[in-house]
Amino acid sequence: MIRKLTDRDHHQVLAFLSEEPSINLFIIGDLEVFGYSSEFQEIWGEFDEQDSIIAVLLRFHQFFIPYAKGGFDTEGFVSIMKKYKQPISLSGKSDIVAKFEAFDDLLLGKKQVTFFAECLSDEFLSTGDVEVKKASIEDVDQIIELRNSIEEFHIRSDAREILVQAMESNTARTYYTVDQGIITSCVSTAAENSMSAMIVGVCTRKEYRRQGLATAIMQKLFQVVLNEGKTLCLFYDNPAAGRIYKRLGFKDIGMWTMHR
């Protein structure tokens, strides 16, 4: 049976999702911040004969994220998704998303597959002599300007608004280095919740690269987040970047597929 979930289901939902807190970072974070009755957010659950949750489907605006540990009623979830505007933005563990890709009448956005990695320990972290600062709202414009200068980044038109909202709600933070008042490198978290945090926006100005600035920032940021008892996770598709993350203690735990 599939039904829409409410506040009354929260304890059971979190117990189900918390067995894989990194994989479920987005769902957990969205539920903790926006709950079950927001106009732009809904979550459905599939229950077995013992009334235990076996799968969930979250809608956040036009984005859908499914999660299950085993088999589930994919067709039932697809019927829900088809009630919303297509093409559908869908993301999740690659093996789960693949089940939705089999439905020809479900129009999905452009596909991207990345590695998904997590870090549980600070044993590979060290401290350096690079001064690293925590960003405030006053630094947002410089952070967005730096991200816009990175060719590989695709910055949304509402990126500033999203970053400010995330910082104010404590679901994101940014650490950076500075030279003569100019931010030279920065690293951010996103979708932070009580269990985990996503690493995003790792970038350095071209003229300041190969000085270890981003690595120094990550050392600092990772240590702070891990000390709070949270799991760190990230996506990557660049093998060179992957090698850097693994030297800092990250391990691949699966593949993540996005249609958007």
Local confidence band at 131 (pLDDT 50, 70, 90 cut-offs): very high
How many helices (H) and strands (E) the chain has is answered by 8, 12
Give me the mean pLDDT over the 48-53 stretch. Answer: 96
Q: Which CATH class is domain 2-109?
A: alpha beta
Residue ranges per structural domain of the chain: 2-109, 119-259
Cis preceding linkage at 239, omega within 30: no
d(CA 246, CA 60): 31
Among 50-54, 61-65, 190-194, top mean pLDDT goes to 50-54
d(CA 112, CA 260): 8
Local confidence band at 101 (pLDDT 50, 70, 90 cut-offs): very high
Q: Is 35 left (phi over 0), alpha (psi -120 to 50) or beta?
A: left
Q: How far, in whole angstroms, is CA 200 from its chain's centroid?
A: 8
Q: What's this model's pTM, rounded to 2 decimal places?
A: 0.86
Query: What is the third-level CATH fold of 119-259?
Result: Aminopeptidase (3.40.630)
Q: CB of 184 within 8 A of CB of 205?
A: yes
Whether 257 has a pLDDT exceeding 90, the answer reads yes
pLDDT digits (tens, 9 = 90+) for 181-224: 999 999 999 999 999 999 999 999 999 999 999 999 999 999 99
